[in-house]
Structure 1
């Protein structure tokens, strides 16, 4: 099953997280604190642990339970960040949400949009999911560019949706359903066929954010 969740496009790859990734990921998290902190989920009831060994055990248990797929993003074989498919809902929904982080030294190499595209294709093709969602803070210009590039459709403003960087933050919601991308998200983007205006945020939501 692990090999199924490994995909590559040029120098960029995703694969299932492994326990031995803990040291590398913890190093990246600790050396990228100022870069990542504004976008990291926090706990309104207390501190969030940065113990990656514990986090990976928990993520792999969620994977075993069918609740998520924890992935590592790589560039030329080096760990560049994480991408988690979480909140998998089966039955009448068949949906999930994508979250991710990338180290600052790997920013600007096209890693995040490529990995989001590959992960979405994996979820549609291998897991049989129907809908994939990404929720982004209005201030996160880099992540907004990801959904714009890939043609994710804007679906609305969620007020005080996720606890990020110490407070409840507004988020924009974007999504794709399988029927949107019969050729695959990655293929559509690489071929230049992703709609340029799907992720446009209406003025009313921009003004109220």
Structure 2
């Protein structure tokens, strides 16, 4: 694995997932079942296992294949959630999607938007991507706030887009292209926080 795929901003950082993260992620998933279940991807024809050892092996294989960049989100060095740059398309598209989850006890502290900003900057500066998309169920108010805070552009409704919590769910699509944030998304996010604290 590429050890340079680590980014940080103050106490928040992201780094590539490791097999030894399985235990803590498994515990977080189990302790946050009610919190996460309404937003978790499911399979239309089978149940989804939350065995993180198996899940991390799959994620790392997708990373080796160049299809995904799976990260853990950390706060002061403690694993608090997971974030992936997935569905990587190269060639004339150079696009990918970001998905994420955070433990309930860490929500509302600015960790998720900071981690998404870090991942977006990494995608543009190190991974050679041109466009990042985030698709969110309209009912997921907290995640919608994340993309709104970061200035992702709303692109429209995708009906019955992803199988979530046992059924095909509508999603709102949000995106950014590299040229929209020449200074980087972390810099823009930090500036917005500073300006809001001054008012």
Using structure 1 for the length normalisation, give the TM-score: 0.91
SS of the aligned residue for 1:117 comes to helix
Q: CA deviation at 1:5?
A: 1.2
Could you tell me whether the CA contact under 8 Å between 1:83 and 1:100 is conserved in 2?
yes
In 1: Cα distance, 2:192 partner to 2:40 partner: 31
Structure 1, residues 76-113: CA drift from partner, whole Å, max 9, x if none? 11110000110000001000000000000101111100
State the match for 2:169 in structure 1. Answer: 169
What RMSD over aligned residues (CA atoms) do the two structures have, in Å? 1.0
Q: CA deviation at 1:2?
A: 2.8
State the match for 1:93 in structure 2. Answer: 93
In 2: Cα distance, 1:49 partner to 1:104 partner: 21
Superposed counterparts of 1:20-59, under 5 Å: 20-59=20-59
Using structure 2 for the length normalisation, give the TM-score: 0.95
In 1: Cα distance, 2:168 partner to 2:192 partner: 36
In 2: Cα distance, 1:190 partner to 1:28 partner: 28
Superposed counterparts of 1:70-81, under 5 Å: 70-81=70-81
Q: CA deviation at 1:189?
A: 1.4
1:63 aligns with 2:29: no
SS of the aligned residue for 1:105 comes to helix
SS of the aligned residue for 2:72 comes to strand
In 2: Cα distance, 1:38 partner to 1:2 partner: 33
In 2: Cα distance, 1:154 partner to 1:119 partner: 19
Structure 1 gap segments, 5+ residues each: 194-209
State the match for 2:180 in structure 1. Answer: 180
Structure 1, residues 173-203: CA drift from partner, whole Å, max 9, x if none? 000000001100010111129xxxxxxxxxx
SS of the aligned residue for 2:101 comes to strand
In 2: Cα distance, 1:62 partner to 1:41 partner: 17
State the match for 2:197 in structure 1. Answer: none
Superposed counterparts of 1:114-153, under 5 Å: 114-153=114-153
Q: CA deviation at 1:4?
A: 1.7
State the match for 2:83 in structure 1. Answer: 83
In 1: Cα distance, 2:23 partner to 2:183 partner: 37
In 1: Cα distance, 2:85 partner to 2:64 partner: 13
What is the number of residues matched between the two proteins?
193
SS of the aligned residue for 2:79 comes to strand
